[in-house]
Structure formats: structure tokens, C-alpha cells
Structure 1
């Protein structure tokens, strides 16, 4: 029997989303989604990987906006995880929405890059590939078991430029002030975009109180991320939550505290999305937040929020 969304969450969605998109978003929570994966160019060339998958009886389909992103039917997930390409780290199973944040950050070979909430490492591995394994990539994760899973995934994917730290990300900005060219903060969140009406457990721990709890931590993480960023550097803040308290309100608080030291800049996202909100619960937010984006889920892509910030001057 299909579950139902928490009533308070469903009500909040009616206030967050455009009315003409609400039905499609609600339907996405019941969809059995195809499995997306990314070809790892640190280990193999796309043509060879695809040939191997097809030889194994799979039918990978391309994603229009990325030559490295492909999908297979949901029923083929187990077969995908039993291929040599999977075991050898030539592919990484990763939702398409998750792949957007590293693309928006666009780390370059030779740069110093920080992933402030790195586990399990999919985005870290993607950034290493974008950098061609050239430069320095700091990957931070405070939880012990997740930290070791992160290290395993980086090793399995052939990442050689990563330096892993089991540390609370809220302390990193003070420890490494203005050291990094680019920072990714895919913040721990309430995981609302991962709700699945076919899996009641995916919603079991959600509550408005949980949203407030994670927002308190996110606010400090974002300030730490900004302090770790060099003047002129780029930061991407993202979550897999719909909640404005975890998204626009977090960025608004940083802008309010730091003034013109940071600026929200437009980001081009090749999937269905809406501009960030500039008002929530009767509170006006910084108008720059219209440049942020909330990805609207469909039968393939999960919901996602993303803001791109540029540091205009030192925060020391």
C-alpha cells in the first residue's frame, strides 16, 4: 500500500512551489525512478564503459545535458551493480540532481578545493574528475563510519588528489581561513527530496522540528565555508530539501551577517527549476536569492536547492 506524505510537509509545498507545478512534484514522490550513474573519467573512457555495459545486457540511455550522465531502468539496478564497471570504479551511481552541484561549482585543474560535507563522496569524486586529478581537494566528514566510507569510495574511484579529514565542518573556516579557490557545501539536511511514497521509512523521521534543528547547523556550516574561501573564490551551497528554512533563509542569514563580502550570482541549471524565494512566512529575504534555484523533481530528477556565491572581499 502506498504511503502518504506528512500532512505538514504537503501543506508547506503548496506555499513553496508554483501552483502549476505542484501536481507534477507530488506525483514524483510516487514514481519508480530510473537509476542514474556517472561515468568516471579517472578510470575509463565513456565509449569503453558503455560497450561493456551493453555487453552485459544493459541498455544505458544518455542524459541530454551531460555526456557522462546515463540512466538505466530501475529494474536493472542490481544488474548494474554486478558489472565489472561498477566493481572497478568506472561508474558511480548518482542521482542527476546530485551531479548538478559540482557542475555549478566548476572546479579547475590545479585549484585548491574544499568539500565541506563530503560523505559518501559522489560529488567529491565528480570534482576530482572535473579537475583531472590535478590540484588539492580537501574532503571533510565528522562521522566516523561515513568518513571511512568516503575514503573507500575515493580510493575505489581512483581519486589521488583528495585529503580526507574527520572533522566538524563548522570549525574548518577558522582553521583554514581564506585558503580555498572553491568550496562545495552540500549541507546535511532533512532530506525531503528523498521522500518515497513506496518507502514509508523515508519519511519517518521528518518533522518541522527536524527542519529547524538542521537549519541551525547549516547556518554555522555556511559561515565556516565562506571563511575558508579566498576573496574572489566561488562557493556552492546546496541541499536535497525543499524547506526555505534550510535553503534561502540560510543564505539570507549569511548575507545579512557579512554584507557585501559575498554575492549570490546566477547559475545555469539544465533541468526544470524555479527561482529562489525572496519571501517566506511573511519575512522578506535578500532579493539576490532570486538567483538561487530550486530544482523541481520529476520521474527522473530529485528535488534540489542550489545557490552560487562569489566572495567579493576578505571576511577576516
Structure 2
């Protein structure tokens, strides 16, 4: 059952709210990413027996037919590392960050490796990605996925984001902070854990994490901040905090070809956010039957 407080919070800010609520009773679409480090999309399509259709915003990704979805992880393609099970919405933050060959990239909360391995293939396995996480058990999954997918440009570290060492000579071209959150975009699985108190506590943690992440970005570099939640306190509120504390932080408008998303909000209850926050992106579960996501891209001025 969806809590009354949840409905009261979001009725005014989420479009097509009744449809949004209906999607909590629907099974989320299953999607895969073709791992072009080990195969080509053309070779995969010529060999696979899965019934699939394209993800509009990522040429190497596909939605899997419901009848085949349960069998993806037992296919030969999966065991060989030719495909990776990944929510199509979670592919958006790496697409927004857009890492290139030869760049230094930091994924601050990398496990289990969905976005790390996606960025590795976007970089053609060149350059360097530091894949960091604080949880030992999750790092084991991260290592397994990196090995299965053949990502050779990834180095794993284990640090609390809030104490990740910053050095003037060791800053990064691109930094991804996919922050721990209240999981509202994944509530078809985790709804039982939701509370407004949890949202407030996580927002405090996220502000500390983004404060620690910003010094790691080099001049002219970019930070992508993302969550799989809708809470403005964890999204627009965290990004506004960064902008207020750092004069060199400039918000960039989110543009991903093939993806129709919603703008970030500027008002919630008694709080007014900077109009610049409209440049951020929101994806709701009823848009594409994916998970929900928030994405912001911030550039550090030279």
C-alpha cells in the first residue's frame, strides 16, 4: 500500500499522478546493454534468441520481451559478458557525463558496476576509471562484473566518499556521484523502507558527499549527480546547496537524444529553488516503465 504521506508529497509536482500511482502495480520493464568491449551490436543481434526492442536513448541497449526477461541471466551471451542487465533509466547518468577515451574518470559509488562498466565501453576501454565503493560485499559484485565484461581500464578503491582524498595534481575530468538515496524510483521493490525522516537524513548525507566530490573535479571538468528518487530534498536541494557553496559551479542543461524527460522543479511545499534547477532532469516510472531517476550535470569553471 502506498503511504498517504507519499501521495501528499508528490501529487502537485509529478505529472499524470494517477497514472504514476498505477505503475506501482506494474512489473518494471527489463533492459539489457550490449557490451561492445566484447562484441558488436550487429553480432549480438545476429545470434540472440531474445525478443527485444530498442531503447530510444541508447543505441546499444534494448528492452526485453516479458516472456524472455526471466531467462536473460542464464543465456550464453550473459555468461560471456556480451550483455549486461541494467535498467534503461540508469544508463542515462553515464550518457550525460559522456566520458571519452583517454580521460580520467571517477565513479564514487560504483558497485555493483552498472555505470562503471557502461562508461568503460563508452571510453573503448581506454583512459582510466577509478571505481570506488565503501561496502566490501558490494565491491565483490563490482569486481565480478568488471571481470566478466572485460573492462581493463578500471581500478577499484574502497573509501568513504566523504573522506576521498583530494589532490591538486590528481583531479578528474569527469566525476559521477550516483548517491545513496531513498529509492523512491525503485519502490516497486523497496517501498516498505520509505519514510520522510529517512529522506531528510539522506539529504544531509548527500550534501556531505557532493561537498567532498566537488574538489575532485578539475577546472573545466564535470560532475554528474544522480539518484533514483523523487524527493526534492535529495535532488534539487542537494544541487542548490552545491551551487550556493561554490561560485565556480555552473549547472548545464541535460540533453540526451531520444529521451524525453521532465525539468527539475523550482517549488516544493514552502521551498523555492533557483530557476537554474530547471536544467536538471527527472524521469518518472510511468514515462517509460523504467525506474525513476534524477540527473544533474555541473561544470567547474576554469
TM-score by length of 1: 0.91
Quote how far apart the aligned CAs of 1:177 are: 7.0
Counterpart selection for 2:92 from 94, 100, 103: 100
Residue 247, structure 1, aligned to residue 241, structure 2 = no
CA contact (8 A) 2:217 2:300 kept: yes
Alignment: residue pair count: 300
Take 1:64 and 1:257, find their aligned partners in 2: how far apart are those partners?
37
Moved over 4 A (4+): 175-178
CA contact (8 A) 1:189 1:246 kept: yes
Take 2:48 and 2:168, find their aligned partners in 1: how far apart are those partners?
43
Structure 1's 283 and 178: CA in aligned 2 closer, same or farther, altered over 3 A? farther
CA contact (8 A) 2:102 2:123 kept: yes
Partner of 1:27: 22
Residue by residue, what CA displacement relative to the aligned partner does 1:112-143 show, whole Å, maximum 9, x if unpaired?
A: 00001111100000000000011010011001
> Structure 1 unaligned runs (5+)?
none
Of stretches 72-81 and 131-140 in structure 1, the one that deviates more from structure 2 is 72-81
1:36-75 residue pairs with structure 2 within 5 A? 36-54=31-49, 58-75=50-67
Quote how far apart the aligned CAs of 1:28 are: 1.8
Q: In structure 1, the residue corresponding to 2:290 is in which secondary structure?
A: coil
Counterpart selection for 1:305 from 286, 294, 298: 294
Partner of 1:131: 123
Q: In structure 1, the residue corresponding to 2:226 is in which secondary structure?
A: strand
Take 1:34 and 1:256, find their aligned partners in 2: how far apart are those partners?
38
Partner of 1:7: 4
Residue by residue, what CA displacement relative to the aligned partner does 1:85-117 show, whole Å, maximum 9, x if unpaired?
A: 101111001111000010000000000000011
Q: In structure 1, the residue corresponding to 2:21 is in which secondary structure?
A: helix
Of stretches 74-83 and 226-235 in structure 1, the one that deviates more from structure 2 is 74-83
1:113-262 residue pairs with structure 2 within 5 A? 113-172=105-164, 174=166, 179-196=171-188, 202-258=190-246, 260-262=247-249
Take 1:66 and 1:284, find their aligned partners in 2: how far apart are those partners?
34
Quote how far apart the aligned CAs of 1:174 are: 3.1
Partner of 1:112: 104
> Structure 2 unaligned runs (5+)?
none
Structure 1's 176 and 78: CA in aligned 2 closer, same or farther, altered over 3 A? farther
Partner of 2:250: 263
Take 1:159 and 1:176, find their aligned partners in 2: how far apart are those partners?
27
Q: In structure 2, the residue corresponding to 1:154 is in which secondary structure?
A: helix
CA RMSD in angstroms comes to 1.6
Take 1:158 and 1:185, find their aligned partners in 2: how far apart are those partners?
23
Counterpart selection for 1:83 from 59, 71, 75: 75
Q: In structure 2, the residue corresponding to 1:246 is in which secondary structure?
A: coil
Quote how far apart the aligned CAs of 1:263 are: 0.7
TM-score by length of 2: 0.95
Of stretches 142-151 and 164-173 in structure 1, the one that deviates more from structure 2 is 164-173
